[in-house]
Each structure stands twice: as C-alpha cells, then as structure tokens.
Amino acid sequence: MPDRHGGALRVDAAKCADSCAACVPACPTHAIVREPGKRVSLDLGKCVFCSACVEACPPHAITHTKAQVLNGAAAVVPVDLFIPGCPPHPLTILDGLLRFLDRLEKSP
C-alpha cells in the first residue's frame, strides 16, 4: 500500500487521558465517540482514515496500524474468490471475472 494510506486505527487505552476528548471534534465523520467516564469508541465503518484524530491526540494514543483489512466480507457472506489491490488493477478485475466465469462453467 502507498505510504499515504493509513491502516486501521488503534487506541492505546493506557495513554488515553480520562479528561481528554480532543479527538472527538477533530473527526469529520463523527466516527469517534467518548461518553463521560467511558473509553473512546471508534466506528471504523464511518472512518475515512484522514488521520485528523491521530494529529489531534496530545499523548499520541491513537495510531494507524498496518492492518489493511478491517472486516473480512467472508465473515458475513460466503466468498470463494478475492481480487487483490486497493483499488485493484483493471486487469486484475478482468482476471477475477474470468476465474469466476470458469468456476461457473465447471460447477454442477
């Protein structure tokens, strides 16, 4: 992945100060919530990986990880063919389509 791409976010609870909520207003998509007395909650479904929260966090408690896969689709729906790349190269998509059609032909 290119350097500009941030991976999934992680919050180090040990570094996160109880009295702080600086990351909450910094998030443009309202992906971060912190209710009084509770831990920071991140909704990665809303996250656009802009890094605003990482920059806003005084003790650097929020960091990008190297994880590029958030929630595997295979955990929700049956998947037997994956196309690599983000975004995938057009030839990779074509290759995936041809493999899919080949499997359809060979299926009973």
Q: Kindly tell me which of 20 and 83 has the beta carbon lying closer to ligand SF4.
A: 20
Q: Kindly tell me which of 16 and 83 has the beta carbon lying closer to ligand SF4.
A: 16
CB 65 within 8 A of CB 8: yes
The yes or no reply on residue 51 touching ligand SF4 (CB under 6 A) is yes
Residue numbers 14-33 binding ligand SF4 by CB under 6 A: 16-17, 20-23, 26-29, 31-32
CB 1 within 8 A of CB 69: no
42: DSSP letter: E
- Could you say which of 7, 8, 33, 49 contacts ligand SF4 (CB under 6 A)? 49
The yes or no reply on residue 92 touching ligand SF4 (CB under 6 A) is no
CA-to-CA distance for 102 and 107, rounded, in angstroms? 9
Taking phi over 0 as left and psi of -120 to 50 as alpha, with beta for the rest, 64 belongs to beta
The yes or no reply on residue 8 touching ligand SF4 (CB under 6 A) is no
**H or E element at residue 32:** strand 32-33
The binding site for ligand SF4 (CB under 6 A) comprises: 9, 11, 16-17, 20-23, 26-29, 31-32, 34, 40, 42, 47-53, 56-57, 59, 61-62
